[in-house]
């Protein structure tokens, strides 16, 4: 049945470097009537949009309040119901801690068509730009992506901590900077070697990228000496040592 409803493209903008968006993602920006974008989607990408495209920013506002998720859902739904082509641009990959599930479900309820265009996620890209492949044939054969947000209030069960500490070679924590001591202590508590190296990569793949190397038991001291800001990936595992040989991207400081 033909409808006059629009369509929504959920597009991964990639981790920061605007060249890291996919060809398909870029096409979705070029055709959009409306682009709804997040704080971590590089705004340079908007230069590829049509001159008459409408831009709606959904990140933190000047008063530090973010637009509520409900409001974002409403905006996307109402623009699509007007028959518009909407590109919902999200940092990294839309399916990795990107709430694409919640937003797409609303569209489904309204019978609005959507597509998901994957992007390069920060947990792989930021380490790659720091010279750290997240897997390596001789060093790491398992890799997990974990939200550091939940680590604070024991929402990660002991079983999961144990699995992360002893069963996974490389672990990337997203949104973990406010919780980093707890994360490292939990991993040690559940059986990870305290000397396991840790890399913190902030603003990965951008000109502001900064990498700090430490270990699970020295991270607190390291952070007292060196300041590093969000957004950052905390990468735990022996692969971090590969940076000593594979660092290739010039960082400013
Ligand atoms: N969908 C995104 C993740 C969103 S959660 C993705 O796939 O990458 C937001 C978290 O992602 C941040 O708190 C940070 O941990 C991480 N992040 C996003 N961009 C980053 C970047 N350029 N460098 C380092 N970490 C980044």
**Residue to mutate (ligand 1; options 13, 37, 101, 122; most atoms within 8 A of CB):** 122
pLDDT over 70 percentage in the chain = 95
pLDDT band for 128, please (50, 70, 90 cuts): very high
CA-CA distance, 23 to 12, in Å (whole number)?
A: 11
Cα distance from N-terminal residue to C-terminal residue, the chain: 58
Residue written as tokens 């990965």?
Answer: 204
Q: What is the pLDDT of residue 154?
A: 61
Q: What is the pLDDT of residue 62?
A: 61
CA angle 92, 237, 248 (to 5 degrees): 60
- Beta pairing class for 7-12 and 85-90: parallel
CA of residue 91 to ligand 1 center, whole Å = 7
| Sheet strands side by side (includes 143-147) | 143-147, 170-174, 232-236, 197-202, 210-215
pLDDT over 90 percentage in the chain = 87
CA of residue 3 to ligand 1 center, whole Å = 36
CA of residue 171 to ligand 1 center, whole Å = 14
Q: What is the pLDDT of residue 61?
A: 65
pLDDT band for 252, please (50, 70, 90 cuts): confident
Tokens representing residue 201 in the block: 């990569």
* Pocket lined around ligand 1, Cβ cut-off 6 Å: 15-16, 40, 90-93, 96-98, 121-122, 126, 174-175, 201-206, 230-233
pLDDT at 180 over 80: yes
Collapse the DSSP code of 213 into the 3-class scheme (helix H, G, I; strand E, B; otherwise coil) and give the result. strand
| Number of the ligand 1 atom closest to the C-alpha atom of 204 | 23
CA of residue 95 to ligand 1 center, whole Å = 12
CA of residue 69 to ligand 1 center, whole Å = 18
**Residue to mutate (ligand 1; options 145, 174, 211, 234; most atoms within 8 A of CB):** 174
Q: What is the pLDDT of residue 85?
A: 98
Span of 51-60, 144-153, 181-190 with lowest mean pLDDT? 144-153
pLDDT band for 174, please (50, 70, 90 cuts): very high
pLDDT at 2 over 70: no
pLDDT band for 4, please (50, 70, 90 cuts): confident
pLDDT band for 3, please (50, 70, 90 cuts): low
Express each pLDDT in 37-93 by its tens digit. Answer: 999 999 999 999 999 999 999 987 666 677 888 999 999 999 999 999 999 999 999
- Would you please indicate which residues are annotated as catalytic (active-site) residues? 38, 60, 175
Q: Domains plus CATH for the chain?
A: 7-117 (3.40.1010.10), 122-246 (3.30.950.10)
Q: What is the pLDDT of residue 210?
A: 97
pLDDT band for 156, please (50, 70, 90 cuts): confident
């Amino acid at each position: 049945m033909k409808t006059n409803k629009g369509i929504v493209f959920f597009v991964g903008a990639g981790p920061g470097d605007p060249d890291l968006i996919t060809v398909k993602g870029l096409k979705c920006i070029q055709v959009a009537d409306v682009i709804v974008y997040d704080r971590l989607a590089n705004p340079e990408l908007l230069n590829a949009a049509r001159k008459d495209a409408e831009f709606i920013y959904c990140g933190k506002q000047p008063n530090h309040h973010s637009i509520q998720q409900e409001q974002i859902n409403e905006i996307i739904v109402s623009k699509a119901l007007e028959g518009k082509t909407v590109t919902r641009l999200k940092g990294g990959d839309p399916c990795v801690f990107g709430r694409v599930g919640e937003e797409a479900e609303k569209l489904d309820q309204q019978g609005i068509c959507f597509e998901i265009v994957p992007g390069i996620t920060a947990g792989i890209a930021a380490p790659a730009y720091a010279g750290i492949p997240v897997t390596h044939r001789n060093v790491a054969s398992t890799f997990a992506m974990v939200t550091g947000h939940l680590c604070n209030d024991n929402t990660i069960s002991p079983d999961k901590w144990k699995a992360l500490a002893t069963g996974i070679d490389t672990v990337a924590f997203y949104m973990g900077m406010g919780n980093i001591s707890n994360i490292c202590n939990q991993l040690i508590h559940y059986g990870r070697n305290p000397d396991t190296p840790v890399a913190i990569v902030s603003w990965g793949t951008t000109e502001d990228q900064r990498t700090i190397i430490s270990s699970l038991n020295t991270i607190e001291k390291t952070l007292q000496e060196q300041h590093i800001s969000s957004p950052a990936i905390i990468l735990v595992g022996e692969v971090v040592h590969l940076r000593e040989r594979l660092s290739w991207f010039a960082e400013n400081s």
